[in-house]
A and B are shown apart, each in its own frame.
Chain A
């Protein structure tokens, strides 16, 4: 094939959703197989490795994110139904959840306040301006809710999206070594903590480790999305004094 024909084929393919949807699924398939082969090591986190590999491919091919998302949107769309699907593990562990209402409530309030207060106070103390502090305050909440909280408080939703994803990946990688070092073997507590600190990406990790941890992580995402919109404005008001 001539170079010109090569180029026109590339131009054609790179403009269809097919190419980038396929790349997303194939890279995930390979990374997930590697993660499985490594015994689900926390450092073989599928989100982390898919993101940099695909990011490198986009950079190498000079593809802009808009063109990539044309294909990837079909995967992204499934986040909605997947959130609804969190009701299934919740239903299957409902007896266990009902017995753990008090510990969950305690972990929710303590964890949600800690997430919001520590992130905003540390950022403010290190000299970040109001807009950046408002952007990091809701970082542990699921992306859509976090972006709307950030916007309400005068933050930058795009920055919040970056911080939310980074928080998700960090918590998902850190939770297993941290909990093992602490000797916590209660998968209800481990799951709830990672869902609270690191939303859906944390829950994805929890589902890899243990179904009970996954169910509790899913519940923590929903509860944190209800509580943080109440906490964050108070924290920002305190900082603005």
Chain B
């Protein structure tokens, strides 16, 4: 648990540091996600010719990651409560913004799923 969580934090830290140092146009945690993905792929290579390092032991990061993602909704609650307290910024042009938000969100879901299915079918996938 502690080991897995340390790996998650270390990846985030490396991501944040790289983003700041190199002025990359993406959030540190997203780069951290890419780093962890590469680390997990590297672990598979490692185990072909020896034991991977202990901190990447099979199951440690996976367990910590799954525990966080199983309760992903919880992590948005503090920011969500902030929205209620900030809702007055919404009062100006509220109707225009609300209409744009609702139509655009539903349209995006439809277009994204449509494009995915269309190309998937063109490739002969069921």
The chain A residues found within 8 Å of chain B, CB to CB, are: 24-25, 27-28, 32, 45-47, 50-52, 54-55, 58, 64-65, 68-69, 72-73, 75-76, 78-92, 94, 99-100, 102-111, 114-115, 118-120, 122-123, 126-129, 132, 136, 139-140, 142-145, 156, 158-159, 161-163, 165-171, 174-175, 178-179, 182, 184, 186, 188-190, 192-194, 196-198, 200-201, 203-205, 207-208, 214, 218, 220-222, 225-226, 229
Return A172 CB to nearest CB of chain B, in Å. 8
Chain A CB count within 10 A is highest, among B15, B71, B92, B97, for: B97
User: Complex Cα distance A80/B32, Å?
Assistant: 9
Task: List B91-114 residues whose CB lies under 8 Å from chain A.
Answer: 92-93, 95-97, 99-114
Chain A residues lying within 8 Å of B103, measured Cβ to Cβ, are 118, 122
Asked if A107 and B116 sit within 8 Å, CB to CB, the answer is: yes
Grouping DSSP codes into helix (H, G, I), strand (E, B) and loop, the B interface class, with mixed when no group exceeds half, is: helix
Asked if A204 and B73 sit within 8 Å, CB to CB, the answer is: yes
Chain B residues lying within 8 Å of A208, measured Cβ to Cβ, are 73
Chain A residues lying within 8 Å of B102, measured Cβ to Cβ, are 170
User: Complex Cα distance A83/B12, Å?
Assistant: 9
Asked if A178 and B110 sit within 8 Å, CB to CB, the answer is: yes
User: Complex Cα distance A140/B82, Å?
Assistant: 18
Q: Given A139-B101, A140-B108, A170-B102 in contact, is the A72-B73 Cβ separation under 8 Å?
A: no
Given contacts A24-B78, A51-B77, A84-B9, 18 further A-B contacts (CB under 8 A): A50-B74, A55-B84, A69-B82, A81-B9, A84-B29, A88-B66, A89-B65, A104-B116, A139-B105, A163-B97, A163-B101, A179-B113, A192-B112, A193-B109, A193-B113, A197-B108, A220-B112, A222-B30
Q: Given A87-B33, A118-B107 in contact, is the A24-B97 Cβ separation under 8 Å?
A: no
Asked if B97 and A123 sit within 8 Å, CB to CB, the answer is: yes
1/0 per residue, CB under 8 A from A, across B1-35: the answer is 00001001101100100000000011111101111
Asked if A201 and B116 sit within 8 Å, CB to CB, the answer is: no
Grouping DSSP codes into helix (H, G, I), strand (E, B) and loop, the A interface class, with mixed when no group exceeds half, is: helix
9 CB contacts below 8 A, A to B, read A65-B82, A79-B79, A84-B33, A87-B35, A88-B65, A139-B105, A140-B108, A159-B90, A189-B117
Asked if A106 and B72 sit within 8 Å, CB to CB, the answer is: no
Chain B residues lying within 8 Å of A114, measured Cβ to Cβ, are 104, 107-108, 111-112
